[in-house]
Chains A and B, each alone.
Chain A
């Protein structure tokens, strides 16, 4: 295979773990271990053997945020022997509503150090290893090869594909969760681990078998931008720990020496858990859906039969994860004459140089509710786009979807959004709808959105 650490049968972490697990499974529990883990050891299916497997296991948690914090708490509490944590960020105030392994007193500290100090308080017995930097194509294999199981608690698609690819090549099971706004996903991948290229039989899928290509960046929102409810991401992190503990306690993470039927024998139905929590209907139920997923795909780029993916290639920048996840989209760039800076708009308005005009603010109503420029009318972007598409498709007029004062006058329109992208698209759509009256009416974008407004005009503006 030409990989220095990728051979599932070689002298790599997996077989080391297997050997040490064999040795460790024969020993007695210490008095403290017996006491500390007693309540979970008496659960049917766990027992002393399950506990010793946990103690002899090494788990890597990538990301010490909203998923990583709750996941790590239960992994540490359960007594997993070695716990590595990867994260390059520092703790911020806005993390604390959901990242429950940090603390107000540790704002500014590296997240890995903050979380490990919390975990030591919970359980001093495991060995904690800090990797205080982000996972990269260059360091991924070196780090992941030191562990038996990986938990993807990251926050971006490029790292998700990287982690999955390296886990395939190193034969490591991957417990992957993700969450944004009001919903979460959880899936166990590559478990039991199966060498790349084996497709004759039913094997577990990798991330690419489920999500072949990443969404366009414009539709991809981060927790920082879209928001996230603490309990939603917390629920997913906790469920993730549950799956990891189950895999380790039952030794499903150890690649079978007998690849003929080993992995297949242990294959559970691959399942994608979806959690939806609907804030809009306070009385509506939450929902969990367990979706039956397919197995490994024959033509998968990473684990399929003709895959050319290698650890050396990944390290050398092939595939290029950043590029793969940032396919350019049809984001529009307005010409300079249709744009005005926030500072220039403000100055002109103050001096009375602006004619009577309409100011549309296209942020979502939650953002708008914290504050807006005087006189702004809220026109949430998502709904506007949909309605504009409906008009374009089915006829109807701009009058049906815009406030009358916008349609019935010739007053210039200014559009502002959060960071200056949606507003440009809105200007283009308004022109499509004929609101520029053949060029007679000016429609302008306020460049850089409310972020620029805060930076250039009003530093006290409550921008989220």
Chain B
């Protein structure tokens, strides 16, 4: 489903309603990117994405769950930074069945 991101980029996967909102399953974004800036970066590309999808979605980096800190979180030494070649996923809850 995904090819390696180009140099200096990471892949971001959009599942379920995130995919419908962006009309994409995957795209490459410039790396490195501090995790706390991820939602703002995406909101800039897809207006309204945050309120409709991101705020209630869970996020993984390289198949592992991460807590997304608030944007106003202080810069910390241990801040998570999305690196070149990483695979990030936006996973909204699905309810139907």
Contact = CB atoms under 8 A, between A and B. Distances in A.
Interface of A: 63, 65-68, 153-157, 160, 177-181, 183-185, 210-216, 218-223, 226, 228, 233, 236-237, 272, 274, 276, 278, 284-285, 287, 289-294, 382-383, 386, 389, 392-393
A68 B97 CA distance: 8
B5 to A, nearest CB: 17
28 contacts: A66-B97, A154-B97, A155-B96, A178-B95, A178-B97, A179-B97, A180-B16, A183-B16, A185-B93, A214-B93, A215-B52, A215-B56, A215-B92, A215-B93, A218-B52, A219-B21, A220-B95, A236-B97, A237-B97, A276-B1, A276-B25, A289-B89, A293-B58, A294-B67, A382-B20, A382-B23, A383-B23, A386-B46
A233 B95 CA distance: 12
Contacts of B94: 178-180, 183-185
B91 A274 contact: yes
Contacts of B89: 289, 291
A390 to B, nearest CB: 8
Interface residues of B, number: 32
B1 A285 contact: yes
Contacts of B25: 276, 278
Interface string B38-52: 000000101110011
Contacts of A223: 96-97
A222 B96 contact: yes
Nearest to B22: A386
Interface of B: 1, 15-17, 20-23, 25, 44, 46-48, 51-53, 55-56, 58, 60, 63-65, 67, 89, 91-97
A289 B15 CA distance: 11
B15 A183 contact: yes
A287 B2 CA distance: 10
Given A214-B56, A383-B23, A219 B91 contact: no
A290 B93 CA distance: 15
A179 B56 contact: no
A278 B65 contact: no
B95 to A, nearest CB: 5
A289 B95 contact: no
Contacts of B23: 382-383, 386
B89 to A, nearest CB: 7
A221 B96 contact: yes
Nearest to B58: A210
Contact of A278 (B1, B51, B58, B63): B1
Nearest to B52: A219
Q: Which of B16, B21, B22 has the most CB of A within 10 A?
A: B16
A221 B97 contact: no
A15 B12 CA distance: 46
Nearest to A181: B16
A67 to B, nearest CB: 4
B1 A287 contact: yes
Nearest to A152: B97
Nearest to B53: A219
A61 B1 CA distance: 33
B52 A291 contact: no
9 cross-chain pairs, A with B, having the tightest CB-CB distances, nearest first: A389-B47, A67-B97, A178-B94, A180-B96, A211-B93, A292-B64, A157-B95, A223-B96, A287-B1
